[in-house]
Amino acid sequence: MSYLVLRGINKIYPNGYHAVHDFNLKIEKGEFIVFVGSSGCGKSTTLRMIAGLENISKGEFYIDGVRANEKGPRERGVAMVFQSYALYPHMTVYDNLAFGLTLQGVDDDVIEQKVYATAKILGLTDYLDRLPRALSGGQRQRVAVGRAIIRKVDIFLMDEPLSNLDAKQRVTMRSEITQIHRETGATTIYVTHDQTEAMTMADRIVVMKEGYIQQVGTPHDLYFNPSNMFVAGFIGEPPMNFIEGTVKNGKIDVKGNVIVLSAVADKDVIQKYEGEKIVFGFRPEAIRLIGKGDDNNSFKISCTVELTEMLGDNTNVYVDIAGIKTILKVDPHDAPNEDDAFDFLIPYESVYLFDKNTEKRIKLRADK
């Protein structure tokens, strides 16, 4: 097990493009860290700098307290799984798994024992004689993972390893990778653009945007305490709803739905934003229907229903609050009809406010 420290890491590509800015993070021994963000935000670049495949333009990188900037990929004790699997097409599964160990000069009987043990963990025992082209996408991905774990490294790096799989295979492999992580205990860094993968697999998530870290936290932290609008909108499906308004006399008027801010925020917070634009946020799943439980301690909002999507376990309801489009997530049994006028409640405890200029979350109470 290794711990990693990235201090002030930057990547400027030879063409002058500044892909990663001032990346600071300590990754604990055995932690499962996920870098998440939209395509092009610098996740792979950061991972490749950790792997030693890309040089670090500025900043310091330590493995177990020892500076590793100048170390080559082989000296870092890392194994990497790529999106493309990178299997040798002319070699059997057995040989693909054995290849790294053969190069290291490991004895044949030790290799055989390790290949069988790894194949067993990954359910590949019956496929050892096959060539990669005779495997399904999921099986190929397992071989790629197997090739990395067979080396018993301390640091495991994965770059979008599931993106070539179908939805069902992704769910299966997600839990398999989590299981392998539990068994090997290797410090793992996993790159994905998929927030569900991040939420289900990570001990801690690093959310990135345009080369900058937006927030680092547990899945619970990011969902309940997003530090800005980007994180609030990125984590959660469907995303958080945002409604813009100007604070007047401690209230925002959302097209006739008056939100009295003293219900959710301290007086000095409201005073600070008097006359300023703020953004009111609530999650689609946080709303409550009238007459279903506690109708107090909530803002009541009126809207019209534009479209409903029945997904089985819930229905997404697309509504229009006098011109503002938002999404609500409700039990299918309670779903309103399209084109109906509809009232719903947003519990005070589910309200987020953001500064319109900085997009940062506003702390509502001094004691929270």
Least separation in angstroms between CB 20 and ligand ADP: 7
Plot region of 356 (φ>0 → left; ψ -120 to 50 → alpha; else → beta): alpha
Does residue 2 contact residue 187 with C-beta atoms inside 8 Å? Answer: yes
Of 18 and 182, the one with the shorter C-beta distance to ligand ADP is: 18
Of 17 and 88, the one with the shorter C-beta distance to ligand ADP is: 17
Least separation in angstroms between CB 193 and ligand ADP: 7
Considering only residues 4, 9, 33, 43, which one is a binding residue for ligand ADP as defined by CB under 6 A? 43
Considering only residues 2, 4, 36, 45, which one is a binding residue for ligand ADP as defined by CB under 6 A? 45
Q: Is 214 in the site for ligand ADP (CB under 6 A)?
A: no
Give CA–CA dist 354/337, Å, rounded.
32
Least separation in angstroms between CB 52 and ligand ADP: 15
Least separation in angstroms between CB 49 and ligand ADP: 9
Give CA–CA dist 148/302, Å, rounded.
54
Q: Is 37 in the site for ligand ADP (CB under 6 A)?
A: yes
Q: Is 33 in the site for ligand ADP (CB under 6 A)?
A: no
Considering only residues 2, 44, 188, 227, which one is a binding residue for ligand ADP as defined by CB under 6 A? 44
Sequence-separated contacts (24+) of 125-131 with Cβ below 8 Å: 127/93, 128/92, 128/93, 128/94, 128/97, 129/92, 129/93, 129/94, 130/92, 130/93, 131/89, 131/90, 131/91, 131/92, 131/93
> What's the Cα-to-Cα distance from 127 to each of 82, 83, 97, 105, 302, rounded to whole Å?
21, 21, 12, 24, 59
Of 100 and 233, the one with the shorter C-beta distance to ligand ADP is: 233
- SS3 category, 206: strand
Region from 14-22, 85-93, 108-116, 300-308 binding ligand ADP, contact rule CB under 6 A:
14-22
Distance of CA 212 to the CA centre of its chain: 15
Of 45 and 316, the one with the shorter C-beta distance to ligand ADP is: 45
> What's the Cα-to-Cα distance from 162 to each of 9, 230, 270, 300, rounded to whole Å?
27, 24, 46, 42
Q: Is 15 in the site for ligand ADP (CB under 6 A)?
A: yes
Least separation in angstroms between CB 239 and ligand ADP: 19
Give CA–CA dist 20/234, Å, rounded.
19
Of 43 and 140, the one with the shorter C-beta distance to ligand ADP is: 43
Least separation in angstroms between CB 11 and ligand ADP: 8
Give CA–CA dist 115/143, Å, rounded.
11
Q: Is 296 in the site for ligand ADP (CB under 6 A)?
A: no
Which run of H or E residues covers position 120?
Answer: helix 108-122
Give CA–CA dist 242/114, Å, rounded.
53
Considering only residues 17, 29, 112, 343, which one is a binding residue for ligand ADP as defined by CB under 6 A? 17
- What end-to-end distance do the CA atoms of the chain give, in Å? 36
Least separation in angstroms between CB 219 and ligand ADP: 19
Considering only residues 32, 34, 42, 80, which one is a binding residue for ligand ADP as defined by CB under 6 A? 42
Of 211 and 236, the one with the shorter C-beta distance to ligand ADP is: 211
Task: For strands 18-27 and 352-355, give the pairing.
Answer: unpaired
How many positions of this chain bind ligand ADP (CB under 6 A)?
Answer: 12
Least separation in angstroms between CB 141 and ligand ADP: 18
**Cα-only R_g, the chain:** 25
Q: Is 233 in the site for ligand ADP (CB under 6 A)?
A: no
Q: Is 13 in the site for ligand ADP (CB under 6 A)?
A: yes
- Tell me, what DSSP letter sits at residue 286? G
Of 40 and 347, the one with the shorter C-beta distance to ligand ADP is: 40
Binding region for ligand ADP (CB under 6 A): 13, 15, 17, 19, 37, 39-45
